Amino acid sequence: MQTINVVVLAAGKGTRMFSSLPKVLHKLAGRPLLQHVLDTAAQLTDTTTQIVIGHGADLVRQVVADQKVNCVVQEQQLGTAHAVHQALPHLEQHAIALVLYGDVPLVQVSTLDKLLKAAGQNSIAVLTCNVANPTGLGRIVRNENDEILAIVEHKDATASQKAIKEINTGMMAIPVHRLRQWLPRIKSNNTQGEYYLTDIVELALADGCQVHTSVCDDEQEVAGINNRLQLAELERHFQQREARKLLLGGVTLRDPSRFDLRGTLTAGQDVEIDINVILSGTVSLGSNVIIGANCELKNCQIGNGTVINANSIIEDAVIGNHCSIGPFARIRPGTELADEARVGNFVEIKKSKIGKNSKVNHLSYIGDSELGVGVNIGAGTITCNYDGVNKFKTVLGDNVFIGSNTALVAPVTVASGATVAAGSVITKDVAEKQLAIARGRQSNFDGWVRPQKLPKKPD
C-alpha cells in the first residue's frame, strides 16, 4: 500500500468573493470549503496532510488548529507549482503527492481513490472532466492514440485547443521523488507569468514517465468556487445530492429543493420532513418522526414517533419517544424530554428535564428545572432562575399542577401532588399535596371613573 501525502492548496485571497474572509473559509452546507476537502482527505488510508496557506493565514490556522494537518506559508502567490514547492520539504521521498484545492469542496473519496490507483512510482495521474462550458479552464490535449500530450491553460490555448471540452481539474497524483526533480524545472514563460503545476505533464513525458488520466463524470464534483454565485450553485448541488440519498434511503422530503443538511443525519423508517427544514451538526431521528415546516434542528436526538410542529427550534437536546413539540417552540441546549412529554406553542425550555407525560403547552419559560412525571404547567408560567449573577434550580415532583400565570422563583421545590393556584408568585417550597396561593387580595371600588382624554383644541 502506497503512502499518500495530501497537499491542499489554500493560499488564494478570493478577490471575486469581495470579502475580508479567505475564500477557503467561506461556508458550504455549514462547513468551510477547506473543511470539506480535509474531511474527504481524512477518509483516505495512510495519509499526511499539508495545507499551503497565504491570504488570511492566521484565520486558516485557527480553523484547523485541532486537526492533524501541517500548514506551510506561500508568501507570494506565484502559481500552483510554486505553491506545491512550499510543501515539498514536508513530503516523503517514496510517497505519492495528492494535490487538492481548498476551494473545490465536493470531490468524493471514490474519485480520489480512482485517481490514486492510476499513479505509481514512475507514473503520474491527472483528474479530468468533460464539461459543457470549458471557458477559463485548462484543456487536456491528446494525440491520435488518445494519449495525453499536455495541459494548456485557457489564456495560452489556440482556437482549436479552446474547442476541447475535456478540462484539467487541477487535482493530480504525483510520485514525490519525481516531483522533487520536476518542480525546479518549471518556468513562468506564460501569459500569467506564473509557475503552472500542469507543466509537469510535459516534463514527465520528456523523462519517459507515464501520464495517466482519470475522468470524473460529475463536473459539479470538481468545480471550483471563485465567487458567491458559484458558491450558491454548489450549495444547491450539495443539498440536492444529500436529499437524493435520503429519499432513496426511505426518508420523505415534501420538497427536496427546500431542504438543507448542514451536518450529518441518521434516520429511522417512515420519517417525514416538510419544507424549509434545516438540520445542523449531528442529528438523529427515530422511526415515524414528523418534522413540520420551517424547523431548525441542531445536534439533537429525536425519539420514535415524535412530532415537531412548524417553526420550532431544537438545539443540543434529547427528545424521547412520542413527544409533541411546537408550533413555535424553542428547545435550548441541555434539555431532555422524557417519553410522551408535550411542549406547546411559544414555549421556551433551557437546560431542563421534562418528565414522562408532562405538559408545558402555552406561552411559558422553563429554565434550569426538573419536572417529574405527569406535571401540568399552565399558560404563562415562568421559572425565575437567574438573579443577574447566578442560576438556580426549580424542582417539580410528580403530578404537580401549576396554574396559569405563575412565577416560580428559584431555588424552589414543589413536591409531588401539590397544586399552585393561578397568578401566584412562589418563593417558598410547597409540600406534597398542598395548595399554594401567593397573590394579592382583590379589591373592587364602586364609582371609580377612568381618566378621560381632553378634547383637542382647534388649530
231 and 225 Cβ atoms separated by less than 8 Å: yes
205/233 same-domain check = no
Would you tell me how many other CB atoms lie within 10 Å of the CB of residue 236?
A: 12
Q: Say if 448 falls within a structural domain.
A: no
φ/ψ of 265, rounded to 5, equals -130, 130
109/30 same-domain check = yes
Placement of cell 396559569 in the chain: 404
pTM, entire model:
0.89
154/31 same-domain check = yes
Contacts for 169 with CB less than 8 Å, ≥ 6 apart? 104, 127, 128, 129, 216, 222
User: Distance (Å, rounded) from C-alpha 207 to C-alpha 332?
Assistant: 63
59/172 same-domain check = yes
User: Which of these, 278, 280, 294, lies nearest to 326 by C-alpha position?
Assistant: 294
Contacts for 49 with CB less than 8 Å, ≥ 6 apart? 5, 6, 7, 8, 38, 41, 42, 68, 69, 70
Q: Say if 450 falls within a structural domain.
A: no
pLDDT the model gives residue 454: 85
Largest CA distance in the chain: 109
* Residue 359, strand partner residues: 342, 376
Q: Choose the catalytic residue: 212, 237, 322, 362.
A: 362
pLDDT the model gives residue 92: 96
Q: How far apart, in Å, are the Cα atoms of 122 and each of 99, 174, 200, 204, 312?
A: 17, 9, 13, 9, 58
pLDDT the model gives residue 190: 83
User: Which of these, 303, 299, 340, lies nearest to 317 by C-alpha position?
Assistant: 299
35/131 same-domain check = yes
Domain enclosing residue 269, as ranges: 228-436
Q: Say if 446 falls within a structural domain.
A: no
- Of 216, 238, 265, at which residue does a domain stop? 216
180/239 same-domain check = no
What is the helix (H) or strand (E) element at residue 98, kind and residue range?
strand 96-101
User: Which of these, 175, 159, 90, 76, lies nearest to 125 by C-alpha position?
Assistant: 175
177/258 same-domain check = no
101 and 81 Cβ atoms separated by less than 8 Å: no
Using CB atoms within 10 Å of the CB of residue 370, give its burial: 0 to 12 exposed, 13 to 18 middle, 19+ buried: middle
Active site residue 362: yes
pLDDT the model gives residue 275: 98
CATH number where 10 lies: 3.90.550.10
End-to-end CA distance of the chain: 94
389/262 same-domain check = yes
CA trace torsion 38, 42, 46, 47 (10° rounding): 10
257/128 same-domain check = no
Task: Give the three cell numbers for residue 438.
Answer: 401567593
CATH number where 311 lies: 2.160.10.10
User: Distance (Å, rounded) from C-alpha 163 to C-alpha 154?
Assistant: 10
- Of 216, 241, 261, at which residue does a domain stop? 216
129/173 same-domain check = yes
* Residue 129, strand partner residues: 167, 216
Give the three-state DSSP class for 420. strand
DSSP string for residues in 333-353? TT-EE-TT-EEEET-EEES-E
- Of 216, 239, 254, at which residue does a domain stop? 216
Task: Give the three cell numbers for residue 351.
Answer: 437546560
Alpha helices (H) in 94-213, listed in sequence order = 109-117, 159-162, 176-182, 200-206
Q: Say if 452 falls within a structural domain.
A: no
User: Distance (Å, rounded) from C-alpha 296 to C-alpha 278?
Assistant: 5
Q: How far apart, in Å, are the Cα atoms of 362 and each of 71, 333, 379?
A: 52, 20, 5
235/202 same-domain check = no
Q: Count structural domains, the chain.
A: 2
Q: Say if 188 falls within a structural domain.
A: yes
Task: Give the three cell numbers for residue 368.
Answer: 434550569
Ranges under pLDDT 50 in the chain: none
What is the helix (H) or strand (E) element at residue 276, kind and residue range?
none
Q: Say if 303 falls within a structural domain.
A: yes
87/166 same-domain check = yes
pLDDT the model gives residue 458: 80
**Average pLDDT in the chain:** 96
User: Distance (Å, rounded) from C-alpha 361 to C-alpha 323?
Assistant: 12
List strand residue ranges (DSSP E) for 131-224, in order: 139-142, 148-152, 166-175, 210-216
pLDDT single digits (tens) 27-82: 999 999 999 999 999 999 999 999 999 999 999 999 999 999 999 999 999 999 99
Q: Say if 120 falls within a structural domain.
A: yes
Q: Say if 29 falls within a structural domain.
A: yes
What is the helix (H) or strand (E) element at residue 262, kind and residue range?
strand 259-267
User: Which of these, 38, 6, 27, lies nearest to 116 by C-alpha position?
Assistant: 6
